[in-house]
Structure 1
Amino acid sequence: MGRGSGIRIRGKSIQISFYWRGQRFQKTLKLEPTKQNLKYAERLRSTILLEIAQGTFDPLKYFRKKEEIDEDILISVALSGWLEAVERTLSVSTFRGYRSAVNHRLIPAFGHLKMKDLTTHAIRQWIGSLTDISNKRINNLLTPLRAIYADAYQDGQIDRNPLDRIRNLPLATKEPEPFTPEEITRILDAADPISRNLFQFAFWSGLRTSELIGLQWGDVDFKKGFVSVRRAVLRGHVKETKTKSGHRDIVLLIPAREALERQMAYTFLQGPKGRVFCHPLTRKPFYMDQEIYRFWESLLRKAGVPFRNPYQTRHTYASLLLSAGENPMFVAQQMGHRDWGMIRKRYGRWIPSADPEVGKKANALWKKSEKNGDNMVTQKNG
């Protein structure tokens, strides 16, 4: 019990091990390795890992001294320890991303080096070799490396941090490419019934693709005309939407409502916990939003519409509402933004600015104050 998870039986004692700030700690408990004592060791180690994750760990609370420390720790060991420490604090999808970065990129590149031997020049060369991935991805790859070096420097284990002069790469901001009403019609006309329901709802609800596939019938209130957005599905894992503003009730516009009413014939009998949308071929719930891409591309090709990713349905929703003159704050609330700053920044060109009435109310106020001012002058002169 406990073997392979930081707990080892050492003769007539039990040894626990863990990583903190890039260093490996081992403590031997002078306890017989009975089932009960192994459970105690497991609880002790879990408590330590939780304190490390919360930033409250104090070695002196558990050890009189560091019983065994690897002074010249390898980067691979430090990265593995960091993963173990942060796993409980991250969402499943975020942790998987970092684990992939560590195992498939960072350890193959630097894992054989001691932490003290990594240079800024070596990091720059490595970044320059990553021609197959985006700047955003590279910045994410650097996060675990930055973390272990920041901790090691703060703890005095190294006298320099080779990442201090490595700045994050600039991110390319992609402009929204919404579909036109004509393109929407062609896409929906080319779709099978289940796909049509999915994408018609997407175009007229503004939900993210991960939110679309996480929608349940219990979230739909036809009577009040609202849909509650509470969760998203990422790689098979259901998670709560990211922020408080992400938890939202959206108004059911007529096209979105009609799509849901048609979709009832396929999935409604599954009950309140049943997923609204299903894969058009398997009729099963989507495991991840990437599955949508597989038939989305062929659908656009069939419709003769230039390819844009499915997320553009969300941008289309925003542009349609703003072009129709809907209040930007209302659009922000519908899309799960805390304020309309993001709406103004991303979709400003779709906010009407040629309103023939614009400025008239302000002019009326000026004329009123000007008139009152003239009266005051007349009275004073009199």
Structure 2
Amino acid sequence: MATSVRNNLIIHAFRGIKICMVGAVRTKEKCPKCGGGFEGEPLRCPSCFTTPKRYFVDFSWPGQGRIKLYSDQQGYPLDSWERASRLLSAIRYEIDQGKFDPREYIRGEFKALRFGNYLQEWLKRQESRNGRAEISLGYFKFAQMVVRKYLTPFLGDKDIREIREGQIEDFRDDLPPSLRPKTLANIIGLLSKILRDAYRRRDIVYLPEMPKVEVGEPITKWISLEEQEAVLAHLSDPVFKAFFLFLMKQGVRPSEARAMRWDNLDFKKNLVVIRAAMDGEKYRPSTKEKDVRYQPMHPRIKEALKGLPRSISGFVFVNDGKLLSKKLVINTWKRAAKEAGLKITCYQGTRHSLASQAINKGVSERIIGAMLGHKSVASTRRYAKLSTETLKAVWTEDVSPVRPQKDIDKR
């Protein structure tokens, strides 16, 4: 067999039959800096020396017409000159051997980039991230539910490269009208995350704009100190009484309190260190914000904790030798609140209530946010609400119970 190459024209002589193939590696992109085209081998902007992010192979041979492929036989996108060149060489060889079947490439390309298949691969990566404690178990389970219940049925048969704004708007409009705005926003947010990941990985070259979902400010419920005491009065177990008192006074998340260890409590310095949290029923050595917080220990907390027995596990809140489960915490709170005549969740009756009680005393949002471990004042503002009694100060000439922000911050 003799082979000659000239200007990408490959002339193969095989068993007396000549097969001519013209092929090249190309791109549809323009230089991101100057907007010019890419030239040469490998493709490069002659002015800015930038290279494309995506390539395709463009080839033809007599009797077969022109073919363009944007991924290899396994469905991986052509994200480098080297990968595209290897693909073109492999195709030349298959044509030379009389074994080339373009359907095999197109089938593999579509299978890998079919959105339903892509979603499953994305979930596998999220499962690995959950195993490394990079995302919570709750987030992963929510992603699984959205993929199974909403994304796959509506968009699963689409090519991820072809998903555009119109299809996303149709998907949003097709979601059940019974969904709360917050849930709707979270679903659209998850789809946005998946597409942004695909864009970052260069699996797609176009990132569609997401439709806006109006959520509005959530209604935050909270209770007074007296109502909190009423809940505590209906708790006979000292462990649960200390646990919920800890939530009320320290303002930590229930998952952080469940993961609290004795070595994170300094009774001499009256200090509480929050550095870990439970993810479902699994201990994580980091908090939701991936930070370590230092809090002053409330006097009542010091008294309540010193009366608790110490288990060999090293954890503070233990029931029958086991850590408090999420379900047990929720059910115990619900029962005590009901007996106290209150209909409020554990989160609202403890963490949210501490924030609202503090702001009605005149404590600044900045200080409240630091106590709760918020990264932004906006998060604190959602929880800390002024009571109607505090707002009545605008009708009187009395000094407002809430001092000016600048005076508070000077303390």
How many aligned residue pairs are there?
A: 304
1:276 aligns with 2:316: yes
| 1:317 aligned residue | 354
Residue 293 of structure 1 corresponds to: 330
2:192 to 146, 158, 161: 146
Among candidates 281, 296, 313, match of residue 236 of structure 1:
281
The yes-or-no answer on 1:215 pairing with 2:252 is no
Aligned to 2:228: 184
Written as runs of structure 1 = structure 2, the 5 A alignment for 1:79-118 is: 79-85=119-125, 87-89=127-129, 90-93=134-137, 94-115=139-160
1:93-123 CA deviation, whole Å, 9 max, x = no partner? 2334323322333113332344477675654
* Higher deviation after alignment, 98-107 or 221-230: 98-107
- Conservation of the 8 A alpha-carbon contact between 2:169 and 2:211: no
Quote the Cα distance in structure 2 between the aligned partners of 1:180 and 1:356. 16
- Return the offset for 1:334: 1.7
Asked if structure 1 preserves the Cα contact closer than 8 Å seen for 2:246 and 2:301, the reply is yes
The 1:168–1:286 alpha-carbon spacing in structure 2 relative to 1, beyond 3 Å, is farther
Q: Secondary structure at the match of 2:273?
A: strand
Higher Cα radius of gyration = 2
Structure 1 unaligned blocks of 5 or more? 1-19, 28-47, 363-382
Decide whether the 8 Å contact of 1:209 with 1:311 is kept in 2.
no
Provide the C-alpha distance between the structure 2 equivalents of 1:357 and 1:181, rounded to a whole number of angstroms. 18
CA distance in 1, matches of 2:147, 2:334: 32
The 5 A counterparts of 1:58-207 are 59-60=80-81, 64-66=85-87, 68=105, 70-72=108-110, 73-85=113-125, 87-89=127-129, 90-93=134-137, 94-115=139-160, 123-128=168-173, 129-147=175-193, 149=195, 164=209, 166-193=210-237, 194-207=239-252
The structure carrying a bigger helix percent of its residues is 1
Contact 1:251–1:334 (8 Å) recurs in 2: no
Q: Provide the rounded CA distance (Å) in 2 between the counterparts of 1:200 and 1:212.
A: 11
Structure 2 CA distance, aligned partners of 1:120 and 1:357? 47
Contact conserved, 1:82 with 1:144, CA < 8 A, in 2?
Answer: no
Q: How many Å separate the matches in 1 of 2:316 and 2:361?
A: 28
Are the equivalent residues in 2 in contact too, given 1:190–1:302 (CA < 8 A)? yes
Q: Percent identity?
A: 21
From the superposition, tell whether residues 184 and 158 of structure 1 become closer, same or farther in structure 2 (CA, over 3 Å): closer
Change (3 A) 1:61 1:293: farther
Q: What CA distance in whole angstroms lies between the structure 2 residues aligned with 1:294 and 1:160?
A: 47
Q: How big is the alpha-carbon RMSD for the aligned residues of Structure 1 and Structure 2? A: 4.2
TM-aligned CA deviation for residue 324 of structure 1 = 3.9
Kept after mapping to 2: 8 A contact 1:227/1:249: yes
Residue type matched to 2:347 in 1? P
Q: Distance between the aligned counterparts of 2:338 and 2:127, measured in 1?
A: 41
Contact 1:296 1:310 in 2 (8 A): no
Residue 31 of structure 1 corresponds to which residue in structure 2? Answer: none
Change (3 A) 1:134 1:345: closer
Q: Which runs of 5+ in 2 are unaligned?
A: 1-52, 55-69, 91-104, 394-398
Mapped partners of 2:377, 2:192: distance in 1: 33
Higher relative contact order (CA 8 A, sep 6+): 1
Report how far residue 204 of structure 1 moved.
0.8
TM-score by length of 2: 0.60
- What SS does structure 2 have at the residue aligned with 1:269? coil
Q: Is 1:186–1:303's contact at 8 Å kept on the other side of the alignment?
A: yes
> 1: CA distance between counterparts of 2:249 and 2:71?
53
Paired letter, 2:155: F
Quote the offset at 1:213 in angstroms: 1.1
Aligned AA (1:80): Q
Return the letter of the residue paired with 2:244: F
Q: Secondary structure at the match of 1:332?
A: helix
8 Å contact kept, 2:258–2:324: yes
SS of the aligned residue for 2:294 comes to strand
Give me the TM-score of the superposition, normalised by structure 1: 0.64
String of CA shifts for 1:337-367, please: whole Å, max 9, x gaps: 34656545642626898359979x99xxxxx
User: Which one-letter code corresponds to 2:373 in the other structure?
Assistant: G
Distance 1:80 1:232, change over 3 A: same
CA deviation after TM superposition for structure 1 residue 77, in Å: 1.4
**Deviation, structure 1 residue 159:** 9.2
